[in-house]
């Protein structure tokens, strides 16, 4: 992918600079590894966590509290979670959050004067993470998206990418790689998700890794129609209205988003935070989520008294639970030298087929980041000096899609993005799934994949945008193939013709393949 301008050797390369990537880099460095972290944006400010507040699945080490915490979401997630993984994550999260407190994070005090540690301010948290990653000696490559993994016959051996600001290429040869690139929100304009386009999925698949739970990808979050902010906790105080002012019954219930989605297909929906919100609560809301109110303030709207138009903004696998399949407690992918963490990896292990913003995702990011970084460093040590003297080649050729910078060489990346979005964004195709609808979308996506074989051009000076469009197309195909295979409603996956949970389908679905997508239950084993 172009002549190399920057060549670096490391023991561990971490791709992605969100919470999972930072914890992976920090932990690997503590194990004595030489670590490089490459972030598509600026580590500490890019990704879904950095611009907003996030809840944390933090539970004190009280046996009964832990049991209740594990039980609380099992039914909602379709009973696909694993309690042993839950216990490990709760233990690791408790330890990591305690460390954040020791660094000086300003946790507020509750009414009893105790440190309240169940939420984090994204900007403060990520600034702190970047500072400690740098302090540990990690080399950070900002604005440096990875375009492909490197590998030889022994496994993964680094990655290559481009510096977006200098428009030069980079190549990091490493003994082990952690993919922490987040999920895929398909450029839906949800806050913080512009860098989350499924790149890590595609790179992992090219190396031979598999996906898991990709059918659990119907995450839509309530947002003002004029705002990218998808923080939806405050809508529990909302009443939802049609344009004529009549109330939409059931829209505020636990499954109310289905009511909202069905209404939005035909007409606009409005909301107002008018359910018993006193002045003290309003002040607390502004303190907890200040960016929630920015768009309202700029538009001169008081969300507590004025009705405002809303939408359901798609967040795909960012708030879904699918991702790269991991095969052991070290977050290994089954490909030698390759690990996955955070939203890039499946979260079914702790929340089954349903999750929301923060909470379990946040706990999973810091836990899986810790474990993957530790394991990657130990793996690198087993290779010794041999890990940095390999004749590795790029793996993008596995996809066999020519990419070019500028405006020549096949289809424009923007056209590819729009074609994928036409399949995954509409409520009547993705939220309300049917077998026939999924088959039609799969057919169009397969045709699109064949079209990509003639090339994709970025329209810009580097090819990273072109690569993103290919990753989104690949992600959509795994999502819908898995959705077609799961003939039931479980977790966030809904099939209109199969509205009930089927006890006989209580199995995780593994998927993979590039030109030929396949899906199999985990109990039957995976294959390529």
What pLDDT sits at residue 461?
77
Distances (CA, A) of 230 to 309, 342, 356, 408, 521: 14, 19, 11, 36, 33
Per-residue pLDDT, 258: 92
For the chain, the average pLDDT equals 94
Assess contact for 377 and 11: CB atoms under 8 A. Answer: yes
Both 43 and 117 in a single domain?
A: yes
* 265 C-beta neighbours (distance < 10 Å), count: 11
Per-residue pLDDT reduced to its tens digit, 33-42 = 999 999 999 9
508 occurs within a structural domain = no
Range of the domain at 199: 4-216+317-397
- 387 and 451 assigned to the same domain: no
**300-349 pLDDT per residue, tens:** 999 999 999 999 999 999 999 999 999 999 999 999 999 999 999 999 99
CA distances (Å), origin 35, targets 333, 353, 373: 20, 33, 10
Please tell me the total count of domains within the chain.
3
- Looking at 278, 297, 312, the residue that finishes a domain is 312
On whether residue 69 sits in a domain, the answer given is yes
- CA dist., res. 24 & res. 16, Å (int): 10
Residues 25 and 86 in one domain: yes
Distance between CA atoms of residues 439 and 18, nearest Å: 35
Q: Which of the pair, 156 or 460, is modelled with greater confidence?
A: 156
* pLDDT value, residue 141: 98
The region, left, alpha or beta by phi > 0 then psi within -120 to 50, assigned to residue 331 is: left
CA angle 406, 182, 124 (to 5 degrees): 110
Residue 505's pLDDT band (boundaries 50, 70, 90)? very high
d(CA 184, CA 335): 22
In the three-class reduction of DSSP (H, G, I as helix; E, B as strand; rest coil), residue 50 is classed as coil
Question: Which H, E and C letters describe 52-86, residue by residue?
Answer: CEEEECCCCCCHHHHHHHHHCCCCCCCCCCCHHHH
Same domain as 404, residue 392: no
- Residue 12: exposure state from Cβ atoms within 10 A (0-12, 13-18, ≥19): buried
Residue 103 sits in the same domain as residue 190: yes
- For residue 248, pLDDT over 90 is answered with yes
pLDDT given for residue 5 in this prediction: 73
Please write the tens of the pLDDT for every residue from 60-81: 999 999 999 999 989 999 999 9
pLDDT, tens digit, 9 for 90 and up, residues 116-148: 999 999 999 999 999 999 999 999 999 999 999
* CATH number (domain holding residue 12): 3.50.50.60
| pLDDT of 233 | 83
Strands (E) located in 425-478 = 456-457
Same domain, 406 and 393: no
Domain closes at, from 363, 397, 431: 397
Residues 304 and 237 in one domain: yes
Least confident of 283-287, 367-371, 473-477: 283-287
pLDDT at 387: 60
70/168 same-domain check = yes
Tens digit of each residue's pLDDT (9 = 90 or more) over 463-473: 999 999 999 99
Of 88-92, 133-137, 520-524, the poorest mean pLDDT is in 520-524
514, part of any domain: no
Compare 173 and 283 and report the one with higher pLDDT.
Answer: 173
Residue-by-residue DSSP string for 176-217: EEEE----B-TT---TT-TT-BSHHHHHHHHHT--EE-TT--
pLDDT of residue 2 exceeding 50? no
Confidence bin at 356 (pLDDT 50/70/90): confident
Q: In this structure, what token pair is assigned to residue 468?
A: 């993103």
Read off the pLDDT of each residue in 235-261 and give the average, rounded to a whole number.
91
Confidence class for position 1, pLDDT limits 50, 70, 90: very low
In terms of Cα–Cα distance, which of 64, 220, 356 is closest to 364? 356
In-domain check, residue 527: no
What's the CA gap between 292 and 301, in Å, rounded?
12
Q: Is the pLDDT of residue 95 over 60?
A: yes
Is the pLDDT reported for residue 286 higher than 90?
A: no
Pick from 397, 422, 447: which residue ends a domain? 397
Question: 380-439, pLDDT tens digit by residue?
Answer: 999 986 666 678 999 999 999 999 998 888 999 999 999 999 999 999 999 999 999 999
* CATH number of 294's domain: 3.90.700
- At residue 89's C-alpha, the angle toward residues 133 and 479, to 5°, is 90
Give the count of beta carbons closer than 10 Å to the beta carbon of residue 185. Answer: 31
Q: How far is CA 86 from CA 57, 349, 351, in A?
A: 10, 7, 8
User: Do the domain assignments include residue 280?
Assistant: yes
- Shared domain for 341 and 369, answered yes or no, is yes
Helix residue spans in 74-187 (DSSP H): 83-103, 122-135
Confidence of residue 528 (pLDDT cuts 50, 70, 90): very low
| Distance from C-alpha of 231 to C-alpha of 190, rounded to nearest angstrom | 10
CATH number at residue 407: 1.20.58.100
- CA–CA distance, 464 with 199 (Å, rounded to integer): 10
Structure tokens at 63: 């046996």
The answer as to whether 453 is a domain residue is yes
- pLDDT of 277 > 70? The answer is yes
Q: Is residue 510 part of a domain?
A: no
Among residues 518, 519, 492, 487, the alpha carbon closest in space to that of 504 is found at 487
Q: What is the pLDDT of residue 253?
A: 76
Per the domain annotation, does 308 fall within a domain?
Answer: yes
Say if residue 153 is in the same domain as residue 277: no
Q: Are residues 268 and 365 part of one domain?
A: no
Given CA atoms 448, 453, 459, 461 in this order, what sign does their dihedral have?
positive
SS3 string, 323-381, reads: EECCCCCCCECCCCCEEECHHHECCHHHHCCCCCCCEHHHHHHHHHHHHHHHHHHHHHH
Please give the Cα distance from 351 to 213 (Å, whole number): 11
Task: State residue 389's pLDDT score.
Answer: 67
C-alpha to C-alpha distance for 497 and 500, rounded to whole angstroms:
9
Mind listing the pLDDT tens digit for each residue in 181-218?
999 999 999 999 999 999 999 999 999 999 999 999 99
On whether both 208 and 335 belong to a single domain, the answer is yes
Cβ neighbours, 10 Å, residue 268:
13
Angstrom CA distances, 186 to 195, 210, 428, stand at 9, 20, 17
Percent with pLDDT over 90 in the chain: 85
Q: Is the pLDDT of residue 4 over 60?
A: no
List Cβ neighbours of 91 (8 Å cut-off, separation of 6 or more): 61
Provide the 3-class DSSP secondary structure of residue 387.
helix
């Amino acid at each position: 992918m172009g002549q190399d301008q920057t060549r670096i050797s490391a023991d561990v390369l971490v791709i992605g600079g969100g919470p999972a990537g930072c914890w992976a880099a920090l932990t690997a460095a503590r194990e004595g590894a030489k670590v490089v972290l490459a972030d598509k944006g600026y580590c500490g400010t890019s990704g879904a966590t950095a611009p907003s507040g996030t809840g944390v699945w933090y539970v004190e080490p009280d046996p009964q509290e832990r049991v209740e915490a594990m039980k609380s979401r099992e039914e909602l997630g379709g009973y696909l979670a694993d309690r042993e993984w839950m216990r490990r994550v709760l233990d690791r999260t408790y330890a990591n959050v305690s460390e954040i407190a020791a660094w000086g994070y300003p946790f507020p005090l509750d009414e009893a004067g105790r440190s309240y540690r169940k939420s984090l301010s994204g900007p403060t948290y990520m600034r702190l993470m970047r500072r400690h990653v740098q302090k540990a000696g990690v080399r950070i490559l900002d604005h440096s998206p990875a375009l492909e993994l490197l590998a030889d016959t022994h496994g993964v051996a680094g990655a290559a990418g481009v510096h977006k600001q200098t428009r030069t290429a980079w190549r990091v040869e490493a003994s082990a790689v952690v993919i922490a690139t987040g999920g895929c929100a398909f450029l839906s304009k949800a806050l913080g998700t512009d860098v989350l386009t499924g790149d890590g999925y595609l790179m992992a698949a090219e190396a031979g890794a598999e996906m898991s739970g990709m059918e659990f990808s119907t995450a839509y979050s309530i947002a003002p129609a004029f705002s990218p902010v998808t923080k939806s906790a405050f809508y529990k105080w909302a009443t939802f209205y049609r344009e004529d002012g009549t109330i939409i019954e059931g829209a505020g219930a636990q499954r109310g988003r289905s009511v909202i989605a069905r209404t939005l297909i035909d007409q606009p929906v409005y909301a107002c935070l008018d359910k018993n919100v006193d002045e003290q609560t309003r002040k607390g809301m502004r303190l907890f989520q200040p960016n929630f109110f920015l768009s309202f303030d700029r538009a001169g709207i008081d969300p507590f008294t004025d009705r405002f138009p809303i939408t359901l903004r798609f967040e795909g696998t960012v708030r879904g639970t699918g991702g790269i399949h991991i095969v052991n407690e070290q977050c290994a992918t089954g490909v030698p030298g390759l690990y996955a963490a955070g939203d890039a990896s499946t979260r079914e292990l702790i929340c089954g087929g349903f999750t929301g913003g923060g909470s379990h995702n946040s706990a999973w990011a810091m836990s899986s980041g810790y474990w993957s970084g530790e394991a990657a460093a130990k793996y690198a040590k087993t290779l010794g000096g041999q890990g940095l003297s390999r004749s590795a080649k790029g793996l993008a050729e596995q996809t066999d899609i020519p990419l070019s910078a500028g405006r020549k060489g096949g289809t424009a990346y923007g056209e590819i993005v729009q074609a994928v979005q036409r399949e995954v964004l509409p409520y009547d195709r993705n939220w309300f799934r049917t077998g026939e609808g999924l088959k039609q979308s799969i057919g169009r996506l397969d045709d699109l994949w064949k079209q990509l074989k003639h090339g994709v051009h970025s329209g810009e000076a580097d090819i990273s945008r072109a690569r993103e469009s290919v990753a989104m197309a690949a992600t959509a195909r795994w999502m819908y193939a898995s959705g077609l295979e799961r003939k039931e409603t479980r977790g966030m996956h809904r099939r209109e013709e199969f509205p009930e949970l089927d006890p006989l389908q209580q199995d995780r679905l593994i998927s993979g393949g590039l030109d030929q997508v396949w899906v199999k239950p985990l109990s039957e084993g995976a294959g390529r």
